[in-house]
Amino acid sequence: MAGLITGLEVETVRTGRERVEAEIAEAARKAGRDPSEIELLAAVKYVALEELHVLQEAGLTLLGENRAQELEAKAEAYPEFRWHFIGQLQSRKVKQILPYVELIHSVASESALKQLEKHGTPETEILVEVNVAGDEGKAGIAPDELPAFLERAPVRVTGLMTMPPFSEDPEDSRRHFAALRALADDHGLPRLSMGTSQDFAVAVEEGATLVRVGARLYGA
């Protein structure tokens, strides 16, 4: 696959992890939060399977993959990591990924709910992806569809996820993160997956409990 990251060095990744963790802690304190409430997820879409041992040696423990086939291969090779699915969810892939993940971040369709009803277990846990920005280029249900969607969910929904429009200015994401937190609060959902390499600190200030960071960890 074009764009795969190779040649990672343990010290580079360890330094990246420590810097990101320090920024998470600073943002949490700024918001009056306990830094231990926020989990750092390493996004590994562009990390080759052969490089995952470097992430392990650098102290990362929670990984997220965007593609079902890659998730299966990587989780088979490294079951010692905790695995989440963070990419756009195709309903026909639900059965494939469920055995490997502790959480799916991106449930946003009726067809995915049907597959979860068929293949999920009492332990299956998901987040609902919400398109709070109303961005036509992003996946996710509309905010006003959330109550009915939650009622139809056949497995445990413990939180929400969003991906705001890309911006060079992290502050542009703040209103979208705040909107997602308000939705989660309204429905008693404790987990919020929001924030990536460019805006995770703002996400933490607005209530994120999971931040999905890739390039910042790998020296990019």
133-153 per-position pLDDT tens digit:
998 888 999 999 999 999 999
Task: Taking residues 182-204, report their average pLDDT.
Answer: 98
**Residue 177 — very low, low, confident or very high, per pLDDT cuts 50/70/90?**
very high
Q: How confident is the model at residue 1 (pLDDT cuts 50, 70, 90)?
A: very low
Indicate the average pLDDT of the chain.
Answer: 96
pLDDT of residue 17: 98
Q: Is residue 5 part of a domain?
A: no
Residue pLDDT, tens place only, 87-127: 999 999 999 999 999 999 999 999 999 999 999 999 999 99
**pLDDT exceeds cutoff 70 at 2:** no
State the pLDDT at residue 157.
Answer: 98
Average pLDDT rounded to a whole number, residues 167-174: 95
pLDDT confidence of residue 87: 96
Examine residue 111 and state whether it is found in any structural domain, yes or no: yes
The domain containing residue 147 runs over which residues?
10-217
Query: 57-66, 180-189, 211-220: lowest mean pLDDT where?
Result: 211-220
Q: Give the residue-averaged pLDDT of 183-201.
A: 98
Q: Do the domain assignments include residue 167?
A: yes
CATH of residue 180's domain is 3.20.20.10
Q: What percent of the chain has pLDDT over 90?
A: 93
Structure confidence at residue 137 (pLDDT): 82
Residue 145 belongs to a domain: yes
- Is there a domain that residue 1 lies in? no
| In a domain? residue 38 | yes
| Within-domain flag for 57 | yes
- Residue by residue, DSSP assigns the chain as -TT-B----HHHHHHHHHHHHHHHHHHHHHTT--GGG-EEEEE-TTB-GGGHHHHHHTT--EEEES-HHHHHHHHHH-TTSEEEE-SPPPGGGHHHHGGG-SEEEEE--HHHHHHHHHH--TT-EEEEEB-TT--TTS-SB-GGGHHHHHHH-SSEEEEEE--PPP-SSGGGGHHHHHHHHHHHHHTT--EEE---TTTHHHHHHTT-SEEEE-GGGTT-
pLDDT at 6 over 90: no
Residue 86 in any domain: the answer is: yes
Domain count, the chain: 1
